[in-house]
Structure formats: C-alpha cells, structure tokens
Structure 1
Amino acid sequence: MTEAAQGALIFVVLVILFIAAVGLSASRHPMSTCRRCSGTGRKRSWLLSSRWRPCPYCSGGVVNRRP
C-alpha cells in the first residue's frame, strides 16, 4: 500500500468513527434545547431587546427532539 492510500484509509476510518460517535451521542441523548431561542422559550425582538414573544419553533418549551 502506498503512503497516499494509507493516508486515505486512515481518513476514511476517522470519518466513520466520527459519524458513529455522533450517532451514538444522539441516540443516548435524544433531547436538545431549541436552536432558535437557546432553550429560553422566548424569541427576542430584533429592534427592541426588552420585547419578546413565545418561541414559535418550540412553543415556549425548553427541550426538543433532535433532528
């Protein structure tokens, strides 16, 4: 095996291990905070920072199912 082929093989193995680790983590911890409101349940106004409304993506909840 040439050095380039060995390097490519190591890269492919590392990518597979990374994907497996992400899949294992998502299956063990299926809940996450809302990405839009960071789990606060509030969507802040872009103009006035003191104004807010319930987050329409998580319905004001903190925990969502991972995609």
Structure 2
Amino acid sequence: MKESSQASKIDLLQMINRKRKEMIRIASIRGFKNKETVKQSKELDDLINMYQRHMLQSKSS
C-alpha cells in the first residue's frame, strides 16, 4: 500500500513542478494578470491542494 501511495505522491510533485514551470513561462510572455496565467495559477493551486490532502490522508492511515 505504501508503494502506490509513494508513487502518487511523486506523480503529484512532478505534476506540480511541470505546472509551476508552465505558469512561469506563460507569465513571462503574457504577464501576471493575463487570464491564461491566472488559469495556470488556479490549476497549480488545485494540484497543491490535492497533494496536501494526499499527505494528510497518508498520515492518518
């Protein structure tokens, strides 16, 4: 059980890092207030929230 939990933790961290890089790339081209940058930021927030929920669940198991 811990292996699959660890794998999804790693997957989420990789997704977070990719989304962060994409958001920074878009912000550097279009600006921080651009709607695409804001969209990327919200998606990054969602991924971070998923990771935090995952970590809380794994601690309580």
With structure 2 as the length reference, what TM-score do the two structures score? 0.46
Larger radius of gyration: 1
With structure 1 as the length reference, what TM-score do the two structures score? 0.43
More helix, by proportion: 2
- Bigger relative CO (Cα 8 Å, ≥ 6 apart): 2
More strand, by proportion: 1
